[in-house]
Amino acid sequence: MGTLEYILGSVLLAVCVLIVAAVLMQSGKDKKLSGAIAGGADTFFSKGKAGRLDKMLSKATVVISVVMLVLIVVLNCVA
């Protein structure tokens, strides 16, 4: 394995960790289970801030997914 493959593999691993974090930070669509786990999250955060954060995390998930896809294709072409 060459140095480029090690570098691309490390970057891919970091991107995978980022996408897992971005997905886990998003609030669920079903508030029943989420409310039971989170407790009083709605009283701490305002609804507007939570909505903006969810939109930002959703866009970040899409961008990170595309970066991950490109990295996988490039890594397979190099190998």
Give the model confidence (pLDDT) of 4-53 as tens digits: 999 999 999 999 999 999 999 988 766 555 555 555 555 555 556 667 88
- Reported as a single tens digit per residue, the pLDDT across 50-68 is 678 889 999 999 999 999 9
Which token pair is 76?
């397979």
- At 63 the three-state DSSP class reads helix
**Contacts of residue 11, Cβ cutoff 8 Å, sequence gap at least 6:** 71
Q: What is the pTM of this model?
A: 0.69
Alpha-carbon 2 to chain mean position: 29
Output the pLDDT for position 78.
85
